[in-house]
Each structure stands twice: as structure tokens, then as C-alpha cells.
Amino acid sequence: ADAPPESLKEDGRPKWDNKFQYLLSCIGFAVGLGNVWRFPYLCQIHGGGAFLIPYFIALIFEGIPLLHLELALGQRLRKGSIGAWSAVSPYLGGVGVGSWVVSVLVSLYYNTVLTWVMWYFINSFQEPLPWSVCPLNENRTGFNEECYESTAVNYFWYRKTLNITPDVTENGTLQWWLVLCLAACWAIVYLCTIRGIETTGKAIYVTAIFPYLVLTIFLIHGLTLPGATEGLTYLFTPNLNSLKNPRVWLDAATQIFFSLSLAFGGLIALSSYNPPKNDCEKDAVMVAIVNCLTSLYASIPVFSVLGFKATSGYWDCLDRNIISIINKFDLPEQSIMRQNYTTWIRLLNSSHPEKIAALQLKSCNLQEFLDQSVSGTGLAFIVFTQAVILMPASQAWAILFFIMLFSLGLSSMFGNIEGVFTPLLELKIVSKSIPKELISGIICLTFFLMALCFTLGSGSYWIDIFDSYAGSLPLLIIAFFEMTGVAYVYKIKRFSEDVKWMTGRKPNLYWQITWRFISPLLLLIVFVAFVTLQIQKPASYAAWNPKYEDFPMKEEKVYPPWVLAICVLLAVLPCIFVPLVAFFHLIKQTLRSKDPNSVPPEVFSCEVAIS
């Protein structure tokens, strides 16, 4: 039976100040660090503009239906993930618990990534930037050896920031500077989520809009940099042959899925604070499209800067060669320029080949520099920081870049924390008299203490583990159960009626088909393909080992068995709740039906209604 609409308004649930706040929160949650550092990388390695084809297909058949489903569910049932799924069906309560566990695990490591961003941000106020020069060694005769063999940027990231150990089993010690930054990050998260959406709603205005401003500034500046056009043509030139590789389609599907932050329970929590009669269909389409357009918009400045960096590297290579040639042949200054370098080389090679060979010139190839593609933390903390050094006024650009990354990550953290906070408030565990500030404080403090393990020397290896195992596979499973649960347990017909009641029109054929058949099928295929690909290669990681013979190349190592056990545990733990809760409820039902003295609860409610 549907509750009459008038009573819902008086249930005392906090609500958004206005619709714009809600939309910004959803967009901020969806638009995160992945839009900046994963999408451009995927575009680059999967054939440039051609990648957009599987990307948009995945968006239309997987992303938008699932997004609409979650937003509509949260809005209709007005509860966080655990309460909402228990209301859909008690057997599906495990789906909500699984979402909640994933949100907890992801919140832990996501804020540590923000810690790294904050560390770089507060270091950007120095002149010169600390990652631009190598420190001297002990007796001041030369540069630090580790720094000299790799680059100053690498050294600052691996040694000065992470102080990374050569192996995941070596824990190292707590890095006190990271602990301080972690405390500051969790303090900022606490400040913004202290009273739930009341405070995040105010903070989101800044954290969701500011990145777009900075991206625009970077766009304008990036396009003026030399070499930007090379970078952009490299990014967007479509290579349709790459579509034949199934890996491309899988990457597109997973990227859409993780980019929209589906199955975290955060979207359900955010939309549960909406007024009941709200057009969730338009909201879903808008959020999805804004997210994708942001990815595209962000890839332009990223690739302008990468093109600039590649061109600078290429020019440096050329210049070094030119200097050695000029020195060797005693030619006047400025006789060989970059433009006529090739003609000069041919001339000199034909006239004095042995001299040219003796110089051992390195071959400079712009394509080679452009091919050095990186994603994730490598893009932000190594490649981009190197590019920033080459720009004039590098401090300002570094500060802007890291504030932008911080805002992007922070708005995603709000969604994650809401996904954790809202179900906790609704469970009977916490009583109503405890103030919200205290609950959010306890949550933030607990998470801070748990996340301290990521500030150890081996912390970044553990974050990779969490990201690959806790933040990927369980989400696919949970999303699959979400879709099939709504489609076949709650029944799409009933769900369509609910949506009609909320938006005023029945969901059209597109929604019916995708909800019922296409999206669950697609999710199943993606899940199977994902697992097959993971199983095929042994789980390995790349370690930064200064004593490695091929240093500065990273050393490929295999995870030891106990680490693999933790990986499996992380992947299985959220998913195990789905069958566990269903089983638990089944037991409860059978016990209740077996007990003749117990009266079924429905009879009680009828009696109450009558009197």
C-alpha cells in the first residue's frame, strides 16, 4: 500500500535548500578525479576519438538506466541504501549493506589520495618548486643518487611524498607529514559533512563549480602553449581499428560505470532528501550528460599540457644534440636551428660520418614522447608536475591544479560520506537524541584512524589494491543485483507506477527495455569479461626499488599469498552480504511461520488501522 503523500512532508527528514543544490551534489559526486586522469588516458590508448563510440553506447544502455533507477529508488523510498533495499524486499537488504560496505572501503582510500593532493598543494607555495630540483647528496659533491638516476619529479613523488618501500610486505613507518595532511583532510571532510546535507549543500556550491573555472583557465592557457595542437590531434585522431579489440568495449563500460559512481549507495542517499514529486528522469539524464561532457572538457587541457610536455622534451632532445654538434664542429652559434636540424644532420653524416657516430646522438622522435601515456596518480603527480615546471609562473599553475583536484575529490567524498552516514542514521543503532555532529565526528575519526595504514611506506601499494579489488568488482555485482532486484522482485510495472507518480509521466519504451533486459545483460557480460581478464594474468604490481638493476624502471613483483587473500576478501566482503541477508531473512521467516503462537505482523497493522 502506498502511503498518502501528505504525511511524507511531515516526517522531519532534512531536505535540499533548492533543486540546484541537489543537482550539484549529484554532479559533484559523479565528477571526480577519474574524469581528469582516467578518461583522457583511455581515450588516448584506445584510438582517440573512436573511443567515444563505445563510451556513448555504454552510457545510453548502461549508465543512464542505472542512474535513473538509483535516483528514482532513493526519491521514492526516502531512505538510505540499506533502508531502501530492505523496503524493496527484505531479501534484498544485503544489496544495501553491500553498497554501504563499499562506500566505507572507498572513503578510506579516496581521502588518502586527497591527502597526497593536499601535500602537493601546500608544497606549491615554495620557490623554486620542490619537485623541480634534485637535492644534494650528503657530502654535497653531486646530486642525490636516487634522484639523479630517475628524475627530480619522480624522486619527490616516490621518496619525499610516499617514502615508498620496495615491497608491499615491507610496511615501513608512518610518514608523519602524510599523517598531518590526512588529519587535515579528514578535518575538512568533517567540517563539510558535520550536519549532513545541511552543510554539504553549502560546501558543494564551491567544490562543484570551482573545478570548472580552473579547467577553463587551464584550457585557455593550455591552448596557447606550444605543442598543444600536437597533443590534441594525437588525442582525438580516431583510429577505428581499435574498436575490434574487446578490451576497448570493456574499458568503456567499466569507465562509464565507475565514472557515474553507481552502486555506491551515495546516489540513493542524495536523492532520498528530495521532495517526493521531483522529475528524477530529467535529473538522471542531466547528471549523466554533464558527467560525460566534463570528461571530454577536461581531456582538452590535459592533452594540451601533455602535448606541450612532449614537445618540450622533444625540443630539449634536439637542443642537446645541436649543442654537441656545434661544439664538435665549432660552428657559429644559431647556425643549426630546430627547423633545419634534419638537413644539417644529413649533410654532416655524408661528409663526416665517423665524427657524427662518435657523438652518439640520441634519436629524437616526437611520437615517442607523445606515446608516454600515464593515467591515475602518475598523470597528476609526475607528468603534470613536470609540465608545470616548464610553464612560466609555475607556482600559480601548480596551486590552481592541485586545488582543482582537491575540490573534485572532495565533492566525490561528500557523496561517499552521505552513502555511509544516511543509512547509519536510519538504522536503530543510533538513538535520535545523539546529535548529528557527534555521529559524523565519530565516523570521521574512525575513518581517519583506519586510514593511517595508508600513510605507511607501503601505503600506495595498498591503495592500488583497494582500488582494484574493493572499488571495482563488488560494484558490478551489486549493480547487477540492483537491476535484477528492481526488475524482477519489485517488478518493473510497480516501479513504473512509482516513477509515474513522482514525475507525472510513465517511463517510456527506452526505460522499459533497458531496465528489464539490456542493462542487466550488459552488466553480466561486463562482469564476466572483467573477471576473466583479471584471472588471466597473475596479480602483480610495479614496485619502486632503487636497488633494482633496471632502475628507474619499476620492478614487476607478484603479490604474496597473504596479500592475495586480502584482495579476495576485499572483493568478496561487500558481495557476501547479499546472500547472507537473504538467507538470514529466510531463516527468520521460516522460524516465524513454524511458531504457531506468533501472530503475523500484517494482522497487527490491520487492527491498528481500524481502531
Partner 1 sequence: YAWDANEEYLFKAMVAFAMRRYSSKSTTQISNVLLCNVTDRVSFWFVVTDSAKNGTTVPGSEVEAAIRMNRNRINSAFLLNDKTLQFLKISSTISPPVEPSTPAWLIVFGVVLCVTVAGIIFLIVQGIQRRKKKNKESSDTENLEEKCEVTVTIENGIPCETLDLKAGHINGVYAADDERFASL
Residues lying near partner 1 in the complex (CB under 8 A) are found at 118-119, 121-123, 125-126, 133, 135-136, 140, 142-143, 177, 180-181, 183-184, 187-188, 190-191, 194-195, 199, 326-327, 330-333, 435-437
The separation between CA 6 and the C-alpha centre of its own chain, rounded to angstroms, equals 40
CB of 311 to partner 1, least distance (A): 22
φ and ψ of 558, to 5 deg: -100, 145
Residue 548, classed as helix, strand or coil, is: coil
CB of 175 to partner 1, least distance (A): 14
Residue 66's alpha-carbon distances to 264, 420, 423, 511, 575, in angstroms, are 12, 20, 20, 10, 18
- Cβ–Cβ under 8 Å, residues 294 and 31: yes
Shortest distance, CB of residue 125 to partner 1, whole angstroms? 5
Q: Three cell numbers at 483?
A: 537491476
Q: How far is the CB of 458 from partner 1 (least distance, A)?
A: 23
Taking the complex as a whole, how short is the minimal distance between the CB of residue 119 and partner 1, in angstroms?
8
Q: How far is the CB of 410 from partner 1 (least distance, A)?
A: 12
Nearest to partner 1 of 60, 331 (CB atom)? 331
Tell me the H-state helices in 164-279: 176-193, 197-224, 228-236, 246-259, 266-271
35 annotated as ligand-binding: yes
**Residue 358 or residue 606: which is nearer to partner 1 going by CB?**
358
Residue 412 counted as an annotated binding residue: yes
Alpha-carbon distance 595 to 600, whole Å?
Answer: 10
Q: Is 95 labelled a binding residue?
A: no
**Which residue stretches of 46-175 are H helix?**
52-58, 64-77, 81-88, 93-123, 145-149, 152-155
Does residue 596 sit in helix, strand or coil?
Answer: coil
Question: Rounded to whole angstroms, how far apart are CA atoms 330 and 591?
Answer: 96
3-state class (DSSP) for residue 49: helix
Identity of the residue numbered 170: E
What angle separates helix 93-123 from helix 436-451, to the nearest 10 degrees? 70
Smallest separation (angstroms) from partner 1 to the CB of 121: 8
417 vs 28: CA distance, rounded Å = 13
- Residue 30 in marked binding region: yes
226/435 with CB nearer partner 1: 435
Which CB atom, from 136 or from 572, has the smaller least distance to partner 1? Answer: 136
Q: Is 363 flagged in the annotation as binding? A: no
Cα 85 to Cα 426: distance, rounded to the nearest angstrom: 13
Query: CA–CA separation, 103 vs 85, rounded Å?
Result: 15
Q: Tell me if 385 sits within 8 A of 131, measured CB to CB.
A: yes
Pairwise CA distance, residues 371 & 393, whole Å: 27
- Residue 457 marked as a ligand binder: no
Q: How far is the CB of 138 from partner 1 (least distance, A)?
A: 12
Per-residue cell: 296: 571530454
DSSP state of 504: S
Residue number with CB closer to partner 1 (324 or 534) = 324
Residue type, 316: D
The CB-of-146 to partner 1 minimum distance in angstroms stands at 16
Distance separating alpha carbons of residues 75 and 460, to the nearest angstrom: 37
Q: How far is the CB of 199 from partner 1 (least distance, A)?
A: 7
Residue 31 among known ligand-binding residues: yes
How does DSSP classify residue 557?
E
> Which residue, 327 or 590, has its beta carbon nearer to partner 1?
327
User: In angstroms, what CA-CA distances link 486 with 72, 174, 459, 578, 585?
Assistant: 11, 45, 39, 14, 18
Residues tagged in the binding site annotation for Na(+): 28, 30-31, 35, 259, 291, 408, 412
Residues tagged in the binding site annotation: 28, 30-31, 35, 259, 291, 408, 412
